[in-house]
Structures are given as C-alpha cells and as structure tokens.
C-alpha cells in the first residue's frame, strides 16, 4: 500500500528554519518523482519543488528559490524539504506526493498538483513572531 507521511512542521519565528520529512512506504521512492506542495487557507494547492528518479530537481516558485531545498535519502526512503529564512507568508500546510518518474516542467506549475495521485496528510508550518 502506497503511503506518504509528512512530519517536521511546527511553529517557527521569521528567519528560522525547518526540515520537513516525507516518509514513503509501500514502494521504492527512488523510482518516482516526489513533489512538495503547500496550501494556504482558502487557496488551491501549489507546487513548491519536485525531485525525479534521477535526483534532478525542478523548482516551481521564484520566491522560494534559494530558501527551499528538496532532497532524498533512498536508504531511508524519505524525501526532505529544507526550508531556511522562513517568512510569515510561508505559513501553510505542506504536503508531499508521488508522481511518475519525471517531474512536470516548470511551465506547467499551475497544474502540477493534478498530476500527482498519491498524497500524504500534510504537516502544518506556522511562521510567527
């Protein structure tokens, strides 16, 4: 059974860091593209970053570039999202999801979420002073 479980969210002050984890089970995540997404209250889910089966990375946002880094540990079957210099506007529920082998192109970022079929339950990130 395919399962993705996010963890690592919480309350952090502006400028702080968090590392989110996405523990995969029921399948070898290294053969799949895994994406991180986030959802603001009342908004649609948006793509943040994706890592494909060749460990190539696609970033879907501009403001997060350089602050957020996706990576994977194939031994632990876990995918991470390192988030640095967090801002209040980063407050959202963060999800990971499994796609195919390739990450959708950045030009498709508005529809990326619809391509991923297996999702975790999400982890809340709150940035507040």
Reported as a single tens digit per residue, the pLDDT across 59-113 is 998 766 789 999 999 999 999 999 999 999 999 999 999 998 899 998 888 888 8
The mean pLDDT of 36-58, rounded to a whole number, is 94
Per-residue confidence band for 117, with pLDDT thresholds at 50, 70 and 90: confident
Is there a contact between 49 and 103 (Cβ–Cβ < 8 Å)? no
Does residue 62 or residue 15 have the better pLDDT?
A: 15
Average pLDDT over all residues of the chain: 94
Angle, CA 83 vertex, CA 127 and CA 88 arms, to 5°: 20
CA gyration radius, the chain? 13
pLDDT of residue 64: 67
Closest by CA position to 103, among listed 74, 127, 79, 76: 79
Helical H segments across 1-129, by residue range: 112-115
- pLDDT of residue 7 exceeding 90: yes
Is there a contact between 12 and 110 (Cβ–Cβ < 8 Å)? no
């Amino acid at each position: 059974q395919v399962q993705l479980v996010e963890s690592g969210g919480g309350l952090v002050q502006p400028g702080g860091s968090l590392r989110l984890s996405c523990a995969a089970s029921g399948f070898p995540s290294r053969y799949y593209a895994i994406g991180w997404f986030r959802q603001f209250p009342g908004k649609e889910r948006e793509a943040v970053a994706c890592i494909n089966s060749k460990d190539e990375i696609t970033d879907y946002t501009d403001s997060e570039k350089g602050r957020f880094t996706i990576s994977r540990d194939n031994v632990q079957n876990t995918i991470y999202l390192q988030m640095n210099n967090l801002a209040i506007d980063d407050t959202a529920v963060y999800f990971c999801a499994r796609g195919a082998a390739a990450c959708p192109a950045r030009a498709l970022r508005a529809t990326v979420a619809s391509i991923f079929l297996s999702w975790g339950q999400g982890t809340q990130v709150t940035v507040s002073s």
